[in-house]
Amino acid sequence: MKKILYLILLITSSIILVSCGKEPSKTYTIKVYDNNSLINNYFVEHGNSLSKEEFDTLITKDNFKYWSTSKDGVKYTFELPITSDLELYAVYSNNDNGNPIPTPNTDYKISLYINNQIYKEFNMPKNSLLSKSEMNSYYTESNKDQFLHWSTKINGTEFDYTLPLNTNLILYGVFKALPNPDGINVNFDSIKYYQGYGLDGLLGQLLINKLNTRLYDGTNIRNYGSGLNSILTEADTSPVTKKLWTIYDGISSFGNKEHVMPKSWYIGYPGYSKNKGDVHNLRVSKTSTNSARSNYGYFDKNGGWELDKTAKRFYPGDDHKGDTARIYFYMMIMVKDALDFSNNNVKANLNNKGNEYRTVFENDGFMQLLKWHLEDPVDEFEIHRNEVLFGFQGNRNPFIDFPDLVYLVWPEHYKLNN
């Protein structure tokens, strides 16, 4: 019995001695990385900490920031005791490749355009101000006396020189007249109606605004209705055949009145509801053809009028396409604020509701209108019609009086050498 008790006591004592003894020493591996490459291994006993000064001597690049336990992570705290294996990564002030930080490019490019061609380019620091006098001095060509200003839009208003630069900038030269007029000769003073409005020598938006003022000044646009039938019958009677000539069909019977630019394209825009009765945009038409034409845009072909029901586009006919184009040019001045002229096209928001749109052509509307304008030029019928409507309403269609005017009004789209 004594032997058994002695054995139990011996085992118990051994257990107590092991439990109270010091934990055996453990060593951890510290792997050190620079630019994803292992550059060193350290072996550190449990509970010890690392020396920041020693680790920092491993990196000699100027843009070194600190050590981290992950790539581009937070700064490692060297005072912490080591209790497990560890990986440390060198973190730099630009990225993890250790290359020097490139000097940030704080300059912005200024590009100056004349006639849609690059004229001059230079850089300016961020937040700097352009000098109006210096900018205007850059254009040194022989017609510099015709130069007006630089604009962020083609033929737009003058650039605001109080704005600091915060992006690259494109500026367009705006002129009193075309730098290269290509033989264009529009003499507004040759017709009394245009005299005194300062139209000669202008182009682009400046000319559009002046023409808009002239075409509304003293003009009496009547209410739309049957009261316009008699004047339209007179205006749409051919001075040669003495017969009525309806648009699209060329027949001699009065059906109804066609808005060549559909009224839904502009009457919803504030201030333009009265233009529904503008007789320059109204033509006598065959009722069924007017109905088929609807408020669609156009497509181009040859021959008589045609409706593409699938595409919802209309062709007015070879003998009517030029008349159509010149009426559109007129309306593009009269209701300019209701139309969108971006992307080389003419776009309308139907009834200004924002849920349905029309474009004059699917693509390149400006060039297609010019094509029709040239292929079906002004004739005696239009000249007669312009005079009759001038006597009734008090204004004229300037694109009948001056067919070359399109090159001055929209020089960014139309050039004679094209």
| pLDDT tens-digit series, residues 200-244 | 888 888 899 999 999 999 999 999 999 999 999 999 999 999 999
Inside any domain, residue 64: yes
Residue 148 and residue 270 in one domain: no
Inside any domain, residue 394: yes
Inside any domain, residue 182: no
How many Cα atoms are found within 13 Å in the side-chain-facing hemisphere of 65?
A: 19
pLDDT above 90 for 57 = no
What is the distance between the alpha carbons of residues 378 and 381, in angstroms, rounded to a whole number?
8
The helix or strand, by DSSP H or E, that contains position 405, with its residue range, turns out to be helix 405-409
What is the distance between the alpha carbons of residues 56 and 65, in angstroms, rounded to a whole number?
10
DSSP 247: B
Mean pLDDT of 243-272: 96
Mean pLDDT of 14-33: 59
User: Considering only CA atoms, which of 335, 392, 378, 408 is closest in space to residue 179?
Assistant: 408
Residue 396 and residue 275 in one domain: yes
pTM score of the predicted model: 0.60
Residue 117 and residue 247 in one domain: no
Residue 115 burial (CB < 10 Å; 0-12/13-18/19+)?
A: middle
Inside any domain, residue 379: yes
pLDDT at 6: 47
Percent of the chain with pLDDT over 90: 51
pLDDT above 60 for 386 = yes
What is the distance between the alpha carbons of residues 282 and 247, in angstroms, rounded to a whole number?
10
- Contact partners, residue 133, CB within 8 Å, separation at least 6: none
pLDDT at 217: 97
* Band of residue 3 on the pLDDT scale cut at 50, 70, 90: very low
pLDDT at 8: 44
- Contact partners, residue 352, CB within 8 Å, separation at least 6: 268, 269, 270, 338
What radius of gyration do the chain's Cα atoms show? Answer: 40
How many Cα atoms are found within 13 Å in the side-chain-facing hemisphere of 19?
A: 6
Number of independent structural domains in the chain: 3
pLDDT at 115: 64
pLDDT at 183: 61
The helix or strand, by DSSP H or E, that contains position 4, with its residue range, turns out to be helix 2-20
Mean pLDDT of the chain: 85
Enclosing domain of residue 377: 188-409
* Band of residue 366 on the pLDDT scale cut at 50, 70, 90: very high
Inside any domain, residue 99: no
Residue 81 and residue 135 in one domain: no
Residue 199 and residue 324 in one domain: yes
* Band of residue 142 on the pLDDT scale cut at 50, 70, 90: low
pLDDT at 80: 83
Domain final residue pick, 92, 122, 141 = 92
Residue 142 and residue 61 in one domain: no
pLDDT above 80 for 133 = yes
Residue 323 burial (CB < 10 Å; 0-12/13-18/19+)?
A: buried
Mean pLDDT of 154-159: 78
